[in-house]
A and B are shown apart, each in its own frame.
Chain A
Amino acid sequence: MYKLLNTATATTESFMVQNGKIYLVMTIVSIILIGLFIYVASVDKKLTQLEKK
């Protein structure tokens, strides 16, 4: 199991540093985007609750 995890990290790591680490930038931009959408969605939800009152 430990060995399996190790190879998994190894492959992710080698993937992340390919092509001048562009995948790293891609991952970070995606995280920001997901975070932003979660926030906007939560504001939307709160507003819906206010409107129901």
Chain B
Amino acid sequence: MLRAKWWKVLSFVLLLYTCTYGFLVKVPKLDDRLQESIRNFFFHVPMWFGMMILFFVSLVYAVKFLRSGNLVHDVYSFAFASMGLVFGTLGIITGAVWANYQWGSPWVGDPKQNGAAIALLIYFAYFVLRGSLLDVEKRARLSAVYNIFSFFMLFPTLWILPRLTESLHPGGKGSEGNPGINGKDMSATMRTVFYPAVIGWTLLGVWISTIRIRIQLLQLKKDELL
């Protein structure tokens, strides 16, 4: 699976489709406040979807490590968490740029913006924790436990609290439905680009993660830890 080719090609095809048809597809006008910037849905939003998926995979490998004690699982867990954080950072930067033109300021203290920043900071601490431990076994064990904690902090920070208050993001209090689950809030034509975009960006993240994993495994073999 690490070296299989088909899903890397699929990622390329889907992203090429996103980056071409994403500009051509007809988007709803509504009251024209968003204008063409609604196309950011094909780029900004998949960063967050990708982040959540990669963090979830990282969590699975953290649990696997705690059950098995196999260092390979720690390598997987770390690589997916790193790439997830790259996506999250890109998501928050692209969000700030969009907010600057849409809401008037890069940081407006929107509950989802704040929640996302807290979630990212919690994950940053994961890397601080790893960096401060020299013993490989101890580092793997402690960071796996912390990884589980940081994943479950996504529930309040991203999925619950921003939806309980009024938010500039979709899905806050007072707006109908839950766009995180109810995809019908998006027009059918936009969905034909949005879902392929999510899959494409996520697969690219997985690809880069596997490269990281393979480098780390080579390193471990060289240090005779495997």
Binding site for B on A (CB under 8 A): 22-23, 25-26, 29-30, 33-34, 37, 40-41, 43-44, 47-48, 50-51
Let me know if A44 and B211 touch, CB within 8 A: yes
Bound-complex Cα distance A4 to B49 (A): 47
On chain B, the number of residues with a Cβ less than 8 Å from chain A's Cβ atoms is 17
Could you tell me the distance in whole angstroms from the C-beta of A16 to the nearest C-beta in chain B? Answer: 13
Binding site for A on B (CB under 8 A): 3, 8, 12, 15-16, 19-20, 23-24, 36, 204, 207-208, 211, 214-215, 218
Bound-complex Cα distance A44 to B16 (A): 20
Task: Give the A-B pair count, Cβ closer than 8 A.
Answer: 37
Which of A25, A43, A44, A51 has a CB less than 8 Å from the CB of B218?
A: A51
* Residue from B19, B20, B36, B214 with most neighbouring chain A CB atoms (10 Å): B19
Q: Return chain B residues, CB-CB under 8 Å to A23.
A: 23
Let me know if A25 and B23 touch, CB within 8 A: yes
Closest chain B residue, CB of each to CB of A26: B23
Q: Return chain A residues, CB-CB under 8 Å to B24.
A: 22, 26
Let me know if B218 and A29 touch, CB within 8 A: no
Ranked nearest first, the 9 interchain pairs of A and B with the lowest CB-CB distance are: A26-B23, A29-B19, A37-B12, A33-B19, A30-B19, A47-B214, A22-B23, A26-B20, A33-B15
